[in-house]
Amino acid sequence: MDKQLISSESMSSPLELLRAMTRIRMVEEEIAKRYPEQQMRCPVHLSIGQEAAAVGVCAALQPTDWAFSGHRNHAHYLAKGGNLKAMLAEIYGKATGCCGGKGGSMHLSDQAAGFIAATPIVGSTVPIAVGAALTAQREGKGRVVVVFLGDGAMEAGVVHESLNFATLKNLPILFVCENNLYSVYSPLSVRQPPNRSISDLAAGHGLKTIRADGNNVQEVYTTASAAVQELRHDSGPVFMELPTYRWLEHCGPGYDNNIGYRTDSEFQEWKKRDPLIIGSHNLTVSLETLHINNIRREIEEDFTAAISDPFPDPASASLHVYATCTTSFATPVKDTRELTYAEALQEAQDICLKRYDNCYLMGLGVPDPKGIFGTTKGLREKYGNERVFDIPLAENAMTGVAIGSAITGLRPVFIHQRLDFSLVSIDQIVNQAAKWYYMFNGMMNVPLVIRMIIGRGWGQGPQHSQSLHAWFAHVPGLKVIMPSSPYDAKGMLISAIEDNNPVLLLEHRWLHSVKGNVPAGYYSLPLTGCSRVIEGKDITLVTLGYGVIVCRAASHELKKYNISAEVIDIRSVQPLYSNSIIDSVDKTRRLIVVDYAESTCSIAAEIIARIAEESKEDLYAKPIRLTFPDHPCPTSPALSKGYYKDAFDIVFSALTQFDRTSEFDPSSYIAETFHDQPNPSYTGPF
C-alpha cells in the first residue's frame, strides 16, 4: 500500500489499523534509537504508547479533511498520510524536509495529505483549526476539521474561547483530547479539581462530548467515525476525550520514570495496555513477518535518504519572511470629492467585500449602530451576518480563527476598538500570524488585516492610549502601516486586504474626523515608502499617523520665523524604507522625529540610527526626537497635558536647531482646542 494513502478509506480494515500503529511505533523507536547521535538537532516529542488515538481518528477521515496538531505530532502526521521521508528530513534539518528545515519536529505539514499544520505552543493551534472549520463551513462541501490537543491544553484560556466560538457558529470540527494524564511533569491532579473530567469541562461550552478508550484503536475508530459522519451533516462541533499514556519522557528519546514525577508501577500498568497488543487481540489480526519487514525496509530507506539529503542553502534562511504580492497598484481617477478618514476606511472595506467573496469583517461592535466610529457602518446590512459579524470577547482565539481562515482561503479583517485590546492576542499575532509563512517554508500565506485604533484624550488613560507600532515592527513577518490622510487610508487598506501577509493598520482615533480628498471607486496604494507632505529646505520633520497633523501645524508656524520645514510622513513602519528620509535630511541637514510612542527602542530611535549610519552629509545640529515621557499616559487632563508633544514643542525644538530659542514667542502659538481634544466637536465619553 502506498505510504501516502494511509488516511484513505481502506485504512479502516483491521489489518491496516494495526499496520498503521505498528509503523508509527517503529518510526518513533528508530528516532529514539538514533537521537543520541546528536544529528537530529531539534526537540522531539514522541507518541509511543499513544498510537491508537492518532490512527483511530485519522482512519475515520477522508484525505480531503483537514487535521491540525501540537508539539507531539508525528503520529497524527503519519496517520493522516504525511510523507515519512519528508518528516524525517525535517527533523534532520534538511532542505527536503516538509518545511525545508525551518520548522523541525514541532512544525510539520503535508497539505496534500490534509495534515495542514502542527505548532508547539500549547493550545495555540486550536483556534487556528477553528478558523479552518469556518472556511470549511463556508465551502459547504462536507469537509471536516480535526484538531489534536493534550490534557494540558484544556487549561489554556484560548482553548475555551475556541470551544465557545465553534459552538456558537456550529462549526464542523472534532476536538480530540489525548488525555495522557501529564503536562510535562505535572499530573492532572495538580492542574484540575477532582470529580470533574475533561469532558465535563468541555461540555460546559454546549458542544457534544464523547469518550473512548484511547488505547483501543477499534473503539477510537468506531467512535470517531460516528462523530465525523455527524459533522458532515452540520451537527455542530464534537469534543472527544481519549485517555491514553505516553511511555517516554515529555521531550526526548528516553524513559524518565526515575526522576519521580510518576511511579514505575503506574507505568507498567499502562504498558500492559499497549495499543498494539490490544489492537491485535481485538481486531483478531496480526502482522506477518513480511509486513514487518516491509515497514522496516521503508523506515531504513527513508532514514538513509533523509540523512544523505543536503542541508538548506544558508541564503535560504532569509527567504519566506514575507509572501510575494502580485498586486498591480491602481492609480485613482482624480476627484475633488471629500470624505472623512472614517468614511474612507468604510468605503475601502465596502469595495473589498464586494470585490472579493472571500473577504469578511469581524470584531467586537463591528455591526453595532455606531459601526466602530462609523468605519463599518451599514456593511452588515449590505453583506449579511456571515461576512460582517460581532464576536465574543475573546481576542486571542478570534485572532487564531482569523489566521486559520486566512491560511485556508479567506481574507479576514479583524478590528479592535483599541490597540490595547489586541495585546491579549499577542501569542497569535507574534507566534502564529507573523511566523506562519516562514516556519512552513512559504507553503501557506496569511492574508490577514488587523485594524487597531489608537486612543487619546478624554481620559483614555494607561490602557486605552498606547501606540505600539515599534513593538510590532520589531517582529519579522508583520507589516505595520499608519496612514495619516483619508486618501492614504482608503488606498492602503485596500492594498492591505489584497496583500498576502498579516498587515496591522494602526489608526489614531483623532484622525477619524479629518477630511480630505478621496477619489471614488477602486484604487490601491503601496504599503511601502514615505510621503513628502510639505516640501521645505531648512529642517526635516519626520512623523507618522496623527503626528502628521501636528507637524503640518508646526511647519506653518515655523514660517513666521522664516524657517522652511519639510514634513515626511513615514506611512509604513514595517517595511520601513528610509531613502526619502535620508535624502531630505541630506538636503536640510537638520532633523526632528515626532513619534507618538515611548522614546526607548522607538521608531524615532531607528530613524536617527539610520541617519547616523547612512546619511552622506554631516548634520548642522544634533537630531531631536519628540516622544512620550517614560511613564504611562495618565487619565487626568492636568497630568496628561505634558504627555503629548504638540506644535508648540516642535517649533521650540526646531528653534534650538538654529540656536534661536530666544526668539520663541509662545503667544504667537494659539491652540484651537484643549490638548485632549482634536477639535471642539470631539467630546466624551469614548
Residues taking part in catalysis: 464
Q: Which of these, 340, 32, 50, 414, lies nearest to 216 by C-alpha position? A: 50
Instruction: Using the structure block, give the residue that is written with the C-alpha cell 463599518.
Output: 376
Q: 321 with 437: CB under 8 angstroms?
A: yes
What is the spatial distance between Cα 437 and Cα 357, in angstroms, rounded to a whole number? 23
Q: What angle do CA 405, 133, 452 make, to 5 degrees?
A: 35
C-alpha cell at 61: 477521515
Q: 461 with 422: CB under 8 angstroms?
A: no
Sequence-distant (6+) residues with CB within 8 A of 16 are 1, 10, 59
Local structure of 627: helix, strand or coil: strand
What is the spatial distance between Cα 250 and Cα 345, in angstroms, rounded to a whole number? 49
The region that residue 351 occupies, defined by phi over 0 for left and psi between -120 and 50 for alpha, beta otherwise, is alpha
Q: Which of these, 369, 451, 359, 462, lies nearest to 411 by C-alpha position? A: 359
Q: What is the 3-state secondary structure (H, E, C) of 489-540?
A: HHHHHHHHHHCCCCEEEEEEHHHCCCEEECCCCCCCCCCCCCEEEECCCCEE
Sequence-distant (6+) residues with CB within 8 A of 598 are 627, 628, 630
E strand or H helix that includes residue 356:
none
Using CA atoms, how far residue 510 sits from 454, 457, 488, 548, 631, in Å, is 9, 9, 16, 12, 22
The pair phi, psi for residue 67, each rounded to 5°, is: -125, 145
What is the spatial distance between Cα 29 and Cα 36, in angstroms, rounded to a whole number? 12
Largest separation between any pair of C-alpha atoms in the chain? 98
Q: Strands 565-569, 531-534: parallel, antiparallel or unpaired by DSSP? A: antiparallel
E strand or H helix that includes residue 676:
none
Sequence-distant (6+) residues with CB within 8 A of 646 are 550, 553, 671, 675
Local structure of 284: helix, strand or coil: coil
Q: Which amino acid does the sequence have at 405?
A: S
Provide, for the chain, the percentages of residues in helix, strand and coil under a 3-state DSSP scheme, each rounded to the nearest 5. Answer: 40, 15, 45
Q: What's the N-to-C CA distance of the chain in angstroms?
A: 64
